[in-house]
Amino acid sequence: MNVSVFEAIGPIMIGPSSSHTAGAAKLARIARVIAGKEFSHVSFGLHGSFAKTYKGHGTDRALVAGILGILEDDEDLVKSFEIAKIYDITFDFYELELEGMHENSVKITFFMKDGTYNDIIGSSIGGGQIIVKRINKFDTEITAQACTLVINQYDKKGVISDIARVLANNNINIGIMKVNRTAKGEMACCIIETDSIITSEVVESLKEVNNVISVHSIIITDK
Amino acid sequence: MYNNFDELLELATIRNVSLSQIILEAEMKLSDLSESQIYEKLELNYNVMLESTRKALHTPLVTPGALIQGISMDQYNYSKGENSICGSFINSVMARALSCSETNASMGRVCAAPTAGACGIVPAVVSSLSDKYNSSKKEVLDALLTASGVGAVIMQNATVSGAEGACQAETGVGATMATAAAVQLAGGTPDMAINACCFVLMNVLGLVCDPVAGLVQVPCAQRNAIQSINAMLCADLAMAGMKSVVPLDQMVDAMHKVGKALPPSLKETSIGGMAGTEAAKEISRRIFG
| Residue B169, Cβ density class (10 Å: 0-12 exposed, 13-18 middle, ≥19 buried) | buried
Pairing of strands A90-95, A39-47: parallel
How would residue A147 be classed by pLDDT, with cut points 50, 70 and 90?
A: confident
Taking CB atoms and an 8 Å cutoff, what residues of chain A touch B105? 15-16
Burial code of A126-137, b = ≥16 C-beta within 10 A, e = fewer? bbbbbbbbbbbe
- What DSSP state is assigned to residue A179? E
Average pLDDT over every residue of A184-202: 89
**Angstrom distance (rounded) from CA B41 to CA B60:** 30
Residue ranges, comma separated, of all CATH 3.30.70.260 domains in chain A are 147-218
Percent of chain B with pLDDT over 90: 95
Q: What is the pLDDT of residue A126?
A: 78
B chain contacts of residue A14, beta-carbon cutoff 8 Å = 107-110
B255 by Cβ neighbours in 10 Å (0-12 / 13-18 / 19+) ranks as buried
Substitution target from B2, B19, B39, B107 for chain A, most A beta carbons within 10 A:
B107
> Distances from the Cα of A218 to the Cαs of A31, A45, A209, B186, B212, in angstroms?
10, 23, 19, 46, 38
B119 touches chain A (CB under 8 A): yes
Q: Which residue of B has its CA nearest to A51?
A: B288
Is 50 exceeded by the pLDDT of residue A222? no
- Which distant-in-sequence residues (6+ apart) come within 8 Å of A63 by Cβ? A24, A25, A27, A28, A44, A106, A108
Judge: B153–A1 Cβ closer than 8 Å, yes or no: yes
Q: Write down the pTM of the prediction.
A: 0.88
Smallest CA-to-CA distance from B239 within B161, B180, B160 is with: B180
Give start-end residues of each CATH 3.30.1330.90 domain in chain A.
Answer: 5-142
The answer to whether A12 contacts B110, with C-beta atoms less than 8 Å apart, is yes
Nearest CA in chain A to B221: A16
Cβ atoms of B52 and B103 within 8 Å: the answer is yes
CA distance to partner chain B, nearest, from residue A47 (Å): 16
Mean pLDDT confidence for B66-75? 98
- Three-state SS string over B67-124 comes to CCCCHHHHHHHHHCCCCCCCHHHHHHHHHHHHHHHHHHHCCCEEECCCCCCCCCHHHH
Residue (of A130, A39, A57, A1) closest to B215 by Cα position: A57
Instruction: Determine the residue type at B111.
Output: C
Q: Is the pLDDT of residue A3 over 70?
A: yes
Instruction: Using alpha carbons, select from A215, A105, A67 the residue that is nearest to residue A152.
Output: A215
Q: What is the pLDDT of residues A82-139, one digit of tens each?
A: 999 999 999 999 999 999 998 899 999 999 999 999 999 999 987 788 999 999 988 8
Confidence bin at A213 (pLDDT 50/70/90): very high
Is the pLDDT confidence value at A152 over 50?
yes
Could you tell me which of A200, A6, A39 has the C-alpha nearest to residue B152? A6
DSSP letter at B58? S
Which chain A residues contact residue B103 at CB under 8 A? 15
DSSP A122-135: EEEEETTEEEEEEE
Partner-chain residue, chosen from A8, A78, A127, that has the shortest CB–CB distance to B152: A8
pLDDT at residue A17 greater than cutoff 50: yes
Q: For domain A147-218, which CATH number applies: 3.30.70.260, 3.40.640.10, 3.30.70.20, 2.40.110.10?
A: 3.30.70.260
- Count CB pairs under 8 A between chains A and B: 136
> At B164, is the secondary structure helix, strand, or coil?
helix
Amino acid type, B270: S
> Residue A223's pLDDT is what?
37
Cβ pair B213:A56 closer than 8 A? yes
Percentage of residues in chain A having pLDDT higher than 70: 98
Q: How far apart are CA A33 and CA B276, in angstroms?
A: 41
- Find chain B residues with C-beta within 8 A of A77's C-beta: 107
Q: What is the mean pLDDT of residues B71-82?
A: 97
- Partners of A221 on chain B (C-beta within 8 Å) are none
pLDDT at A196: 84
Phi and psi at residue A102, to the nearest 5°: -55, 150
What percentage of chain B reaches a pLDDT higher than 70? 100
pLDDT single digits (tens) B221-242: 999 999 999 999 999 999 999 9
Minimum distance, in Å, between the CA of residue A123 and any CA atom of chain B = 16
pLDDT of residue B59: 97
More confident residue, A42 or B162: A42
Q: Which residues of A sit within 8 Å Cβ distance of B?
A: 1-18, 21-22, 52-53, 55-58, 61, 73, 75, 77-78, 126-127
DSSP conformational letter for B273: G
Note the pLDDT of residue A131: 93
For residue B95, is pLDDT > 50? yes
Q: pLDDT tens, B166-216? A: 999 999 999 999 999 999 999 999 999 999 999 999 999 999 999 999 999
Task: Please give the residue of chain A at the shortest CA–CA distance from B104.
Answer: A15
Mean pLDDT for all residues in chain A: 91
CB contact under 8 Å between A5 and B216, yes or no, is: no
Q: Select from A149, A162, A142 the least CA-distant residue to A196.
A: A149
**Proportion of chain A above pLDDT 90, given as a percent:** 68
Q: Identify whether the C-beta of residue A154 lies closer than 8 Å to the C-beta of residue A187.
A: yes
For residue A144, what pLDDT is reported?
A: 84
Give Cβ neighbours of residue B257 (< 8 Å, ≥ 6 apart). none
Pick B156's closest partner by Cβ from A3, A58, A73: A3
* pLDDT for A197: 85
C-alpha distances in Å from residue B186, one per residue of B20, B51, B97, B133, B183: 14, 23, 19, 7, 5
Name the amino acid, one letter, at A93: F
The shares of helix, strand and coil residues in chain B, as percent rounded to the nearest 5, are: 70, 0, 30
For residue B109, what are the contacts with CB-CB under 8 A and spacing of at least 6?
Answer: A12, A13, A14, A15, A73, A75, B48, B51, B52, B103
Q: What is the ipTM of this complex?
A: 0.96
B106 CB neighbours in chain A (<8 A) are 15
> Amino acid identity of B74?
D
Nearest Cα residue to B228 out of B84, B85, B99: B99
DSSP B268: T
In this model, does residue A221 exceed pLDDT 70?
no
Handedness of CA A49, A51, A52, A53 (dihedral sign): positive
Domain A5-142 has what CATH class? alpha beta
- Cβ of B215 within 8 Å of Cβ of A8? The answer is no
For residue A172, the SS3 value is: coil
Average pLDDT over residues A142-156: 89
